[in-house]
Structure 1
Amino acid sequence: MSECTHVPELPRPEPAPLSETCRECLAAGSHPVQLRLCLVCGHVGCCDSSPYRHATGHFAATGHPVMRSFEPGESWRWCFADQALV
């Protein structure tokens, strides 16, 4: 794991999830493979193994750099900007 300049800038406590699943997948009639939580705003999106890659799309649209796994028992975080586990 590495440090990035974005982690200290994250809101504390982390934002509440805006949904329980990827709303974009539901709207498209798709099923998310794994879920990711944006640590800036609480958006829940699907991972890059899902057909539409909504978590990555959220980063591209908003610039929100850090997400964490939203899967039970997982707590790892990823910085899109630094391309690193943080």
Structure 2
Amino acid sequence: MKEGQRKYTGTLQYFHNYEHDPEGHKHCKSAGKHPYRIRHSKGKHIISHTIAVGHGKGRKPQWFRFKKRLDGGFDMASGVKINKPTSS
């Protein structure tokens, strides 16, 4: 790994814009067909949808399913990697 590249150590890193905010306070925004919102509540990150796509290095898409309901959304810490969902 090149110096300065970050390791993805958890679900939240796929949804934070570290390239433009090294402290990781800025969330990535969803675009296109897969909208979601991220907000903070009681020290946790809450995402609006049970399935969402984040991105890794080089903007490579990574899909997640969030299992734990929390405060009108889903606890992002409960996210698990999944394959891209198929259209129904």
TM-score (norm: length of structure 2): 0.25
- Which structure is higher in strand share? 2
- Which structure is higher in helix share? 1
TM-score (norm: length of structure 1): 0.25
Between structure 1 and structure 2, the one with the greater Rg is 2
